[in-house]
A and B are shown apart, each in its own frame.
Chain A
Amino acid sequence: MTLARHLAAALVAAVVIALLSVQLSAYRDYQLAEVAAYLVAVAGLTVLIGLSGQISIGHGAFMAIGGYTTALLLTHLGWPLALILLGSVVVAAGGGALFGLAAARLRGPYLAGATLMLAVALPTVADQYQHLFGGDQGLPVTITAPGFLGPTFPPTRWQAWVTAGSALIALILLANLTRSRVGRSWRAVRDDEVAASLSGLNVARLQVLAFVVSAACAGLGGGLLAVVTGIVAPGAYTLTLSIALLTAAVLGGFGTLPGALWGSLVLVLVPTYLTNLGASHGLSGAASSSVPIAAYGLILIVVMLVFPAGIQGGLRRLFGSAAVAPTARPRWLIPFTSLRRPAQSRENQEEGPS
């Protein structure tokens, strides 16, 4: 039943996106495609943090794995796009499994540190093996719309269809997974590892699984982003990207898929909008390109003050459709905010200063 509802919702969304992509200008289609690519990665991250209670400051690295896999498969094997994206998912999931094995042994700031290392180290691999990865210049990723759409079909609309379609499929799978037995087990592990393991759950295996799922999403997101921008280069997968993904997940609200959408929208639309605004108000190029970075900080502070559970939590509170699910404070935050045991953290769930 759940699957049927999710499928129906996705179908509605697909029709709306298809209709809109025809109406929108080419550049809006391009932005739509960008949003969809980031959405997949942020959704994976928000599930990891909000549901399984593990942190990653290194998800940009999994996007890099997905992006480079896409570029290499396209250049050397020339597979059809769907297979290439699937390949990127598989390779990134493999990377997630390897890293998840280590991650399942780490807690709090140590896990954060390990993922941070991944984000910093991985992009430099591209420079070490220049012949394979193209060094700093990166690799081109050029896809064309299939012939039956006609020669005048706008390429950006095709990109929007590919990315939005892939994003919808990923979201359906994630939505079902989080509402399944696995999702419930993740919540149990997040809330209290000891209690979960006493109930017969294999905590370590569940944590690794969460990393695999999350890395697979990031891999797909990375592959899609490569398709949209037409290039993979190490400059795109710096620590800044990983932090931006985390920011998007925080802004949207941990553990909620609609929250991932809000976060991705902020990620894509705010910088372009503000750079244009800055430039049209006579700021120099260098100054107006710093505006988005300042605005990020400001938005993050305001959202955290007004809606501690993120935009989605805030919306729920405003429209009163339901209370915030008990995901507002993931357990990795606990070492930073409280010395109390994780089991008691549920008492810290107020949505603001009371």
Chain B
Amino acid sequence: MKKSPWTRPTRRSRVAALAGLTAAAVVVAGCSSGGSGGSGTPSSKSTALTASAPGITAQQITIGSHQPLTGVAAPGYDEIAPASNAYFQYVNAHGGIYGRKIVYKYLNDQYDPTVTSTAVHQLVLQDNVFAIFDGLGTPTHLAVVKFLNASKVPDVFVASGCECWNETATEPYTTGWQIDYVREGKILGNYIKQHFSGKKIGYFYQGDEFGQDGVKGLDDELPKSQVVARQSYNPAVTNIAPQITALKAAGAQVVVSFTVPAFTALFKLGSLKLNYNPQLVVSDVGSDPITLAGLLEAFAKQGGATVAGNQLTQGIITDGYLPSLGSSSNSWIQLFTKIHSQYLSKLPLDGNVAFGMAVAYTFVQAMFKAGRNPTRQDLMNAINGGLPQGPSVAPYAYSKSNHDGITGAYMAVVKNGALSETGPVQVTDTSATGAVTAAGSTPAAAPASGIPSP
């Protein structure tokens, strides 16, 4: 049985093995390599459906995305891609886009930029997706913007309000969708200026371009002297007691937060523990009442306490750029509710689900506009030509020189677990001096079919 432990492989055999193995490994990596991507041909006016671009065949359109399905940003946000997919299934069941079915492949990036890079390389290089749609997160998506634009892959409707998606000169293939954090910061700041004049204000924000853009917008509106504390957090560190203590010590009576939902909940619980109860003003992305209530109850349970989630979210001031889920007479909410009960009844119908369906609607709008046999450039041209206002409460900014999405929002307060609108829709721009004004347009009703017309 036993071989002598001293017997060694000969040098020759070791060297040969090393060389052989390296080669073998490459062969292993090489087999089952992905299909080839057809090169784009100009869109034709003929009626026959062709494989006009990578990811497009006569039968289907394959698109991809990176989403935080696990990890710190997952609570709430992990519903967005399934909700988009539910809307795509609805479109597929009702004739698709010019007869093509949408295949939506979203990979988990755990809200970690390095994983995002790997996942997006796989989607583009191996799965040959036509476009990256609604890639979620500011720090994550920044990791792949250069790669996508160098590869000339449409990178549409990024699920982040960073102003960094509006770089049409250097990154013409990337577009935002939701209201950018600068505009949102200005609208929130304008509200605070009017309703909390003279009060001490504190900022609590994520320490990356997400938070920094929001702060930029707030600073455009709020007098510097009124802001008594500025605290940032890193999403990888869940202990935010030092930041809360600093805000309390500075005597901030109003705390504006640009946070992901988990950190809104952590802030609320942490401030309760310190007996500190400022008026919370939370940006849209961190304020979905249903997500927050679930998180508050779960976090409290981990700490051995019981709280009523809806009671703790009561009174949080926020803004919304999609119709409020509470307005059951709104045609968009009726459409989302119908699709939700048909395709997605396992998930709660919350703000994230509405977001996922609304952004999917916009993608279908753009694809119809791009034509029967679109190339990747056709999709970008369609967006650059402007898109009609869909479910959003304010118009899109899309043009050849502007890739911002929704340009306005309304102010709201959380009441009994739902958003209650407290003001009209306001629009603004991203400049420091541009005023916050009432929106001129009224949102269109949802089409009866639930699908945008070509």
User: A residues engaging B (CB < 8 A)?
Assistant: 2, 5-6, 8-10, 12-13, 16-17, 20, 23-28, 30-32, 34-35, 123-124, 127, 130, 135-138, 140, 142, 155-156, 168, 171, 175, 179, 229-236, 257-258, 261-262, 265, 269, 272, 275, 279, 284-286, 288-290, 316, 321-326, 346, 349-350, 354
Contacts and interface: CB of A to CB of B under 8 A. Distances in A.
A135 B234 contact: yes
A32 B126 contact: no
Nearest to A23: B30
B274 interface: no
A155 B113 CA distance: 20
Interface string B109-138: 011111101100110011000000000001
B152 to A, nearest CB: 13
B138 A229 contact: no
Interface residues of B, number: 70
Given A136-B208, A231-B113, A258-B14, 7 more contacts: A24-B29, A24-B33, A137-B209, A138-B139, A138-B143, A235-B111, A290-B70
B268 interface: no
Name the residue among A2, A135, A232 with the largest chain B CB count within 10 angstroms: A135
Given A23-B30, A285-B81, A349-B5, A5 B11 contact: yes
Contact of A34 (B10, B118, B126): B118
A69 to B, nearest CB: 16
13 contacts: A5-B11, A16-B22, A28-B34, A127-B237, A137-B139, A232-B114, A233-B143, A235-B112, A235-B113, A235-B114, A279-B105, A316-B9, A322-B7
Contacts, number: 195
B443 to A, nearest CB: 31
Contacts of A127: 207, 234, 236-237
A182 to B, nearest CB: 17
Nearest to B112: A235
A346 B125 contact: no
Contact of A17 (B22, B74, B144): B22
Contacts of A289: 69-70, 107-108, 110
A229 B111 CA distance: 15
Contact of B13 (A25, A28, A321): A321
Given A136-B208, A289-B69, A323-B3, A16 B26 contact: yes
The 6 closest A-B pairs by CB, nearest first: A236-B114, A27-B125, A322-B9, A27-B126, A235-B112, A289-B108
Contacts of B8: 322-323, 325
Name the residue among A12, A25, A175, A279 with the largest chain B CB count within 10 angstroms: A25
Given A16-B22, A140-B146, A354-B2, A322 B121 contact: no
Contact of B25 (A2, A171, A265, A275): A265
Nearest to A155: B150
A323 B26 contact: no
Given A138-B143, A171-B18, A25 B125 contact: yes
B169 interface: no
Given A135-B207, A138-B143, A286-B70, A25 B34 contact: yes
B142 interface: yes
Contacts of B69: 285-286, 289
A321 B9 contact: yes
A280 to B, nearest CB: 10
Interface on chain A toward B: helix, strand, loop, or mixed SS? helix
A137 B138 contact: yes
Given A24-B30, A234-B236, A354-B2, A9 B126 contact: no
A229 B15 CA distance: 31
A350 B339 CA distance: 62
Contacts of B22: 13, 16-17, 168, 261
Contacts of A13: 18-19, 22-23
Nearest to A167: B22
Interface string B20-41: 0111011111100110100000
A16 B23 contact: yes
Contact of B113 (A175, A236, A265): A236
Given A16-B22, A16-B23, A6 B15 contact: yes
Nearest to B147: A230
A275 B111 CA distance: 17
B78 A28 contact: no
A25 B126 contact: yes
B151 to A, nearest CB: 9
Contacts of B444: none
Nearest to B143: A231
Nearest to A7: B15
B169 to A, nearest CB: 17
A321 B16 CA distance: 12
Nearest to A269: B29
A265 B30 contact: no
Contact of A233 (B9, B34, B113): B113
Contacts of A179: 11
A25 B236 contact: no
Contacts of B81: 285
A321 B207 CA distance: 56
B67 interface: yes
B9 A350 contact: no
Nearest to A352: B1
Given A10-B19, A322-B7, A17 B117 contact: no
Contacts of A285: 67, 69, 78, 81-82, 106-108
B12 interface: yes
B308 interface: no
Given A35-B29, A235-B112, A30 B235 contact: no
A258 B18 contact: yes
Name the residue among B22, B69, B81, B150 with the largest chain A CB count within 10 angstroms: B22
B4 interface: yes
A326 B34 contact: no
A136 B15 CA distance: 43
Name the residue among A6, A9, A275, A325 with the largest chain B CB count within 10 angstroms: A9
A26 B54 CA distance: 14
Contacts of A321: 9, 13, 17
A283 B6 CA distance: 49
A233 B112 CA distance: 8
B15 A5 contact: yes
B356 to A, nearest CB: 13
Contacts of B105: 279
Contacts of A323: 3-5, 7-8
A171 to B, nearest CB: 7
Given A230-B117, A322-B8, A124 B237 contact: yes
Contact of B78 (A272, A286, A290): A286
